[in-house]
Amino acid sequence: MTASTILVHRHTLSSRIAITVALLLLAAIPTMPFWASSGQIRLIIELSCLIAIAQMWNLLAGYGGMVSVGQQAFIGAGGYSLFVLSVYAGLNPFWSVPLAMILPALLAAPSYLLLRKLDGPYFAIGTWVLAEVFRLVTGNLQVVNAGSGMTLRAMGQFTAHQREIGLTILCALLLLITVGGTFLMLRSRLGLAMTAMRDDPVSAASQGVNVGRMRFGIYVVAAMGTGLAGAIYYMAQLRISPSSGFDPYWSSICIFIVMVGGIGRLEGPIVGALLYFTATRLFGHYGASYMIVLGLLTLLIALFSPGGLWGLFGKLRDWPWFPVGHRLEYRQRGDA
Amino acid sequence: MVTPSGQQTQADGKEVLLSVRNLSKSFGALKVVQDVSFELARGEVLGVLGPNGAGKTSLFNLISGDIAFDTGAITLSGTPLGREPSYRRAMRGIGRTYQIPRPYAKMTTFENLLVAARFAAGRSEREAYLSCAALLEDCGLAGKANLPAGGLTLLDRKRLELARALAGEPKLLLLDEIAGGLTEAEAGQLVSLIRQVRDRGITIIWIEHVLHAVMAVAERLLVLSFGEKIADGKPQEVIDNPDVRRIYMGIEA
Ligand SMILES: Nc1ncnc2c1ncn2[C@@H]1O[C@H](COP(=O)(O)OP(=O)(O)O)[C@@H](O)[C@H]1O
Ligand SMILES: [Mg+2]
């Protein structure tokens, strides 16, 4: 056997720069109430929630191979948790936000056990049916005002400035947890298993990866991250209703953002969310014809660049922002 | 022929690593493995022959746990495997390659090995880095360590299948047509690699159509036809068996 000294590199110059910039941006978000307009802050809150929800969908579909069209189930569950905790338990809404991850997790665990036997399209349909069930149940529950929805009156105790400070801090934490947390997870031993599963679950199982348990974990974690984003989003809206919280449109957005940005890559949902967000600001007022353009764009990317925009960019320049891989370098070869 | 004796040892006193008893599996009406029994001693190299569709790959899938058997029993080092899923069998030391290579296409060659080292072999990060880097050198893949596995040539994919299975530190290695589709010279390289593996004491079952390749390493041959075992014994005896000759006519020169 030959022996050589080896080095394993996990970062690149581009990733060091990107991570520094990302952390600076995150730190800048909570300072916005002191220099930005309320309109700009609202945009950042929406963008943060989109990135978080899309990143969770990427985890689910890109790594877990579970294409869900029912993530609105957990957006609504997270949002409603916050409203119920604030209205009935009288908790400070800001402190209730982390607690809003509990219900999505509790709902996700049995949902997964129901869904796990379903394959591909059947799984997708199953997630959609579940989300519709949640919407119908919520729409008929008198404690949550049934179809007319709830209002977050408790926010009235804060000034607009205080609310903005609270929300921007929450957004920074949301991104730190969903993007930063996914990054750290993907770089760990579990991430190796998740990346292997993404490429070939059968091989992964034959090399010792408990694919079933990994999928369960991913499903529950994605539900929690999605619920957290839902809570923050509807906190900013100040009201929630079954038709908005459980709107299937949330899933369409996820699919668009992740497919166009690049599925199975951490950077994909960020690029996709920025594109969707910008396009919606610029062309949203065209209504239906704008939706057709978005749909066509998804189709074109699916046909010609399955790796999405990030995959296209990766072919031109190998400049990862959040690398999760390993680059092996052999040094000083010699005989043992 | 091997006569089954006690749980742990064969008649000649060798330790039994794998015991397959009356194993059967059907897909609907199609019986792909029928009442197959054999034992394998630790360190033995068993070649498996049989025409296409004979059930060879299915036999591997049953042993590795990729599919569940209908009836019978599979025992590894005295432990019945029952319905244990494939990931647990991998951790017990059953490693396999796939006839049609199944690399993690978007991961690098090095990372493909890391998965097996960290999970099947349960190695720490540092240990996995070292063992996988060494294996890549042994298997002639060091120069391609950082390339996505999906872009490798057929020979390199076959090498990767072998290297990745070895990274899991198997006690029992299942090789499925690892020399198929390769040139004479390429197959020769693989044979010498497999010899090295055998010399490390790893027990091997090798399905192969390239007869001279498997004959160069195997000390015993088993022949399957329509899911049934029709011969099992010393290579030359099996090759001279009239039933085997009839089945293999025109398949192998
Ligand atoms: N998952 C499956 N479902 C249905 N039939 C299968 C499946 N896997 C294999 N078969 C069938 O079982 C038979 C044996 O296949 P296989 O074990 O791959 O043979 P071999 O490896 O000897 O060529 C073939 O007829 C094949 O079509
Ligand atoms: Mg086969």
In chain B, residues 179-238 whose CB comes closer than 8 Å to chain A? none
The reply to whether residue B119 touches residue A8, judged by beta carbons under 8 angstroms, is: no
Alpha-carbon distance of A336 to A3, in angstroms, equals: 5
Structure tokens at A251: 């899933």
Alpha-carbon distance of A273 to A260, in angstroms, equals: 9
Q: Are residues B36 and B128 in the same domain?
A: no
Q: Are residues B52 and B29 in the same domain?
A: yes
**CA proximity to B251, closest of B100, B52, B54, B99:** B52
Domain containing residue B124: 101-156
Whether residue B5 has pLDDT greater than 50: no
Q: In chain A, what are the domain boundaries?
A: 4-327
Q: Are residues B87 and B145 in the same domain?
A: no
Neighbouring C-beta atoms of residue B137, cutoff 10 Å: 20
With pLDDT > 70 as the criterion, what percentage of chain A qualifies?
Answer: 98
Q: What is the pLDDT of residues A173-204, one digit of tens each?
A: 999 999 999 999 999 999 999 999 999 999 99
Q: Are residues B62 and B141 in the same domain?
A: no
Angle at A52 between CA A322 and CA A324, to 5 degrees: 20
Q: How does residue A17 score in pLDDT terms, banded at 50, 70 and 90? A: very high
Q: Within a 13 Å sphere around the CA of A295, how many CA atoms are in the beta-carbon half? A: 8
What mean pLDDT comes out for the span A158-180? 96
Edge-to-edge strands, sheet with B220-225: B94-96, B172-176, B203-207, B45-49, B220-225, B228-233
The DSSP code for A266 is: S
Place of tokens 């299915």: B58
Q: What is the DSSP string of B41-52?
A: ETT-EEEEE--T
Can you tell me the ipTM of this complex?
A: 0.90
Alpha-carbon distance of A171 to A78, in angstroms, equals: 15
Residues of A in contact with B133 (CB under 8 A): 4, 6, 328, 330
* Closest CA of chain B from A209, distance in Å: 6
* DSSP H or E stretch at residue B126: helix B125-138
Our mutation pick for probing the ligand 1 site, out of B23, B26, B27, B69, counting the most ligand atoms within 8 A of Cβ, is: B27
For residue B66, give the ligand nearest its CA. 1
B27 lines ligand 1 (CB under 6 A): yes
Domain boundary among B116, B134, B156: B156
Q: Are residues B106 and B89 in the same domain?
A: no
Q: Are residues B62 and B121 in the same domain?
A: no
Residue B230 lies in a domain: yes
Q: Which atom of ligand 1 is nearest to the CA of B177?
A: 21
Whether residue B2 has pLDDT greater than 60: no
Residues of B in contact with A200 (CB under 8 A): 102-105
Place of tokens 């240990």: B127
Q: What pTM did the predictor assign?
A: 0.91
Q: Are residues B77 and B24 in the same domain?
A: yes
Q: What is the pLDDT of residues A104-141, one digit of tens each?
A: 999 999 999 999 889 888 999 999 999 999 999 999 98
Q: Are residues B86 and B210 in the same domain?
A: yes
The DSSP code for A144 is: G
Number of domains composing chain B: 2
- Which of B106, B110, B168 is facing A199, going by the closest CB pair? B106
User: Are the C-beta atoms of B57 and B99 separated by less than 8 Å?
Assistant: yes
Q: Are residues B20 and B80 in the same domain?
A: yes
- Which of B87, B115, B134 is facing A192, going by the closest CB pair? B115
Residue B143 lies in a domain: yes
**Which residues make beta-bridge pairs with B19?**
B39, B75
**Which residues make beta-bridge pairs with A151?**
A239
- Which of A189, A209, A264 is facing B87, going by the closest CB pair? A209
**CA proximity to B154, closest of B120, B178, B176:** B178
Structure tokens at A317: 């320049």
**CA proximity to B99, closest of B143, B34, B54:** B54
The reply to whether residue B66 touches residue A202, judged by beta carbons under 8 angstroms, is: yes
Whether residue A154 has pLDDT greater than 90: no
Q: What is the pLDDT of residues B180-214, one digit of tens each?
A: 888 888 888 889 989 999 999 999 999 998 888 88
In chain B, residues 25-54 whose CB comes closer than 8 Å to chain A? none
The Å distance, Cα A107 to ligand 2 centre, comes to: 43
- Which of A2, A208, A212 is facing B168, going by the closest CB pair? A208
Which residue has a Cα nearest atom 21 of ligand 1? B57
Q: Are residues B189 and B80 in the same domain?
A: yes
Domain with residue B193: its CATH number is 3.40.50.300
For residue B56, give the ligand nearest its CA. 1
Q: Are residues B63 and B113 in the same domain?
A: no
Whether residue B175 has pLDDT greater than 90: yes
Alpha-carbon distance of A97 to A82, in angstroms, equals: 6
Q: Within a 13 Å sphere around the CA of B77, how many CA atoms are in the beta-carbon half? A: 10
Q: How does residue B248 score in pLDDT terms, banded at 50, 70 and 90? A: confident
* Closest CA of chain B from A3, distance in Å: 7
Q: State whether residue A325 sits within 8 Å of chain B by CB.
A: yes
**CA proximity to B179, closest of B164, B169, B190:** B190
**CA proximity to A215, closest of A193, A186, A230, A184:** A193
The Å distance, Cα A72 to ligand 1 centre, comes to: 41
Q: How does residue B249 score in pLDDT terms, banded at 50, 70 and 90? A: low
List, in sequence order, every beta strand (DSSP E) within chain B: 16-27, 30-41, 45-49, 71-76, 79-80, 94-96, 172-176, 203-207, 220-225, 228-233
Residue B161 lies in a domain: no
Q: Are residues B148 and B187 in the same domain?
A: no
Q: What is the pLDDT of residues B109-160, one digit of tens each?
A: 999 999 999 999 999 999 999 999 999 999 999 999 999 999 999 989 999 9
Q: State whether residue B110 sits within 8 Å of chain A by CB.
A: yes
Place of tokens 């290297």: B163
Q: Which residue has the higher pLDDT, B201 or B244?
A: B201
Q: How does residue A99 score in pLDDT terms, banded at 50, 70 and 90? A: very high
- Candidate CATH numbers 2.60.40, 1.10.150, 1.10.3470, 1.10.760; the one for domain A4-327: 1.10.3470
pLDDT at A334: 52
Whether residue A287 has pLDDT greater than 60: yes
Whether residue B253 has pLDDT greater than 50: no
- At a CB cut-off of 8 Å and minimum separation 6, what does B2 contact? B10, B11, B38, B39, B232
Give residue B181's identity as a one-letter amino acid code: G
The reply to whether residue A207 touches residue B103, judged by beta carbons under 8 angstroms, is: no
Edge-to-edge strands, sheet with B30-41: B30-41, B16-27, B71-76, B79-80
pLDDT at A3: 54
